């Protein structure tokens, strides 16, 4: 499996993501700088977490207008698999690849803790190795992870089974609507999530709950 990880100024989780992808898939991802005009030939592109451009203006708003994002959007519309994690979720949402928006946490504080996620849809390229309803421990670290959208969009997301992950067992850290932790686009080629699965795949992380997510990439 060929993958690429996009790097923006201020991103700080690219190495974590690249290590996770290589550890599970056996293939080292390609690092792609944000000013590049096009992606290499890959099966998956990941937009990782961090604080692109210092989170100025709105989280992800500046990065979403980088040259590489134009190519990512064009190729995602043709079926390229795209995964956005934390700031990456914010970036791809700002770029129009996913509906809704990520706003300030309900408590107006940065949160860094472990949460529990329920796998709501196990028929995606990132969840197919897990049973529907599986509960995963996963860390979060964000100040603007509160997912919101209008009533019609929410109805479509829920009705079309496009909520991929949901905070469970009272662990919603940010006030996200309907406890939404991750969603996908209409075709299932783009997934965005706030928690950091790359930081819970090996024993040194304290648990391996999220390793099957990366194994799902290979299966897909």
102 and 140 Cβ atoms separated by less than 8 Å = no
- Report how far residue 131's alpha carbon sits from residue 127's, in angstroms, rounded to the nearest whole number: 8
97 and 77 Cβ atoms separated by less than 8 Å = no
Active site residue 86: yes
Annotated catalytic residue, options 138, 196, 205, 210? 196
The single-letter DSSP state of residue 122 is -
Could you tell me which residues are beta bridge partners of residue 101? 148
Active site residue 196: yes
Which helix (H) or strand (E) segment holds residue 213: the answer is: helix 211-219
Active site residue 149: no
Number of residues that make up the chain: 220
Give SS3 for 80. coil
Annotated catalytic residue, options 14, 94, 120, 198? 198
Annotated catalytic residue, options 14, 34, 59, 86? 86
Residue bearing tokens 């999530």: 193
Please list the active-site residues.
86, 196, 198
């Amino acid at each position: 499996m060929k993958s690429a990880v996009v790097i923006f100024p201020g991103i700080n989780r690219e190495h974590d993501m690249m290590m996770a992808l290589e550890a599970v898939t056996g293939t080292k991802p390609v690092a792609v700088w944000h000013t590049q005009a096009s992606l290499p030939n890959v099966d998956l592109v990941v937009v990782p977490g961090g604080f692109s451009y210092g989170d100025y203006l709105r989280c992800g708003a500046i990065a979403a207008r980088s040259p590489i994002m134009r190519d990512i959007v064009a190729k995602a519309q043709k079926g390229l698999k795209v995964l956005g994690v934390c700031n990456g979720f914010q970036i791809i949402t700002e770029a129009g690849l996913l509906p809704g928006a990520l706003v300030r946490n309900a408590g107006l504080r940065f949160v860094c803790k472990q949460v529990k996620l329920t796998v709501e849809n196990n028929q995606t390229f990132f969840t197919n190795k897990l049973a529907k309803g599986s509960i995963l421990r996963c860390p979060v670290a964000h100040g603007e992870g509160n997912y919101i959208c209008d009533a019609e969009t929410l109805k479509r997301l829920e009705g079309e089974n496009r909520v991929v992950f949901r905070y469970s067992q009272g662990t919603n850290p940010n006030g996200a609507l309907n406890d939404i932790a991750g969603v996908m686009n209409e075709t299932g080629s783009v997934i965005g999530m706030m928690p950091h699965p790359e930081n819970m795949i090996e024993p040194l992380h304290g648990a391996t709950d999220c390793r099957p997510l990366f194994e799902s990439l290979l299966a897909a």
